[in-house]
Amino acid sequence: MTVGVTGASGAILAQKTLALLEADARVSRIHLVVTETGQRLFAEELGITAGDLKQLATRILGKPASKIEVLANKDVGASIASGSYEVDSMMVIPCSMGTLAAIANGISDDLVARAADVMLKEARKLVLCIRDTPFNRVHLENMLRAQHAGAVIMPAIPAFYHQPKTIDELVTQYVCRVLGQIGLPQEKMYRWTGRAATKEAKA
Ligand SMILES: Cc1cc2nc3c(=O)[nH]c(=O)nc-3n(C[C@H](O)[C@H](O)[C@H](O)COP(=O)(O)O)c2cc1C
């Protein structure tokens, strides 16, 4: 699968996604593409500096990455830029309004946007974890365009009904929902059963 990371706030969402995918036995290969601003957000929010691109996955995970291949965003001739290369699904997490606009309007001038364009033309799963607030009309129209073209719009909006106590719990549950969208349901995903956890505890 492909994981695109752009310059929207939420580098921690990308970090958690990569950690869960790396640990998932069902996943054999992960192509990681990080935009220039995506790299800046890793530095701003998590203190992970760009440095050698080949080592980026290891720096993000905090341990050697065995399945993650980092591709340069400028390389629009990389494997994932072609529909003939088999990729099951792609997530852009987090997805900036700029990259959403590029995807929604077919502007494939970097590898994240081109790989997403390929997913849509090949009718493969594409999940866009868009993030900004508030949205203007252009953002909303681009979401609609991308959704009409086949993308899943999955705003980086956490849930609270699982009663998270830490940011990690909040992030993990959101990422579990994203992975569920690409056919990788997670054991640790909280599933609502019709009653709040506190009610069950008191019962
Ligand atoms: C600290 C920081 C936070 C940002 N947060 C967001 C955000 O949440 N959503 C967004 O759409 N853009 C955000 N931006 C702006 C994008 O990074 C900018 O539009 C950039 O050109 C997006 O490029 P990319 O899609 O190639 O990564 C942020 C920028 C910075 C520096």
Tens-digit pLDDT string for the chain (203 aa): 999 999 999 999 999 999 999 999 999 999 999 999 999 999 999 999 878 888 999 999 999 999 999 999 999 999 999 999 999 999 999 999 999 999 999 999 999 999 999 999 999 999 999 999 999 999 999 999 999 999 999 999 999 999 999 999 999 999 999 999 999 999 999 999 887 655 454 44
- Give the predicted TM-score (pTM) of the model: 0.95
Decide: 131 in ligand 1 pocket, CB within 6 A.
yes
Decide: 58 in ligand 1 pocket, CB within 6 A.
no
Which residues lie closer than 8 Å to 48 by C-beta, 6 or more apart?
11, 42, 56, 59, 60
Which residues lie closer than 8 Å to 102 by C-beta, 6 or more apart?
108, 109, 110, 112, 113
Q: Is 203 helix (H, G, I), strand (E, B) or coil?
A: coil
Residue nearest to atom 19 of ligand 1 (CA): 98
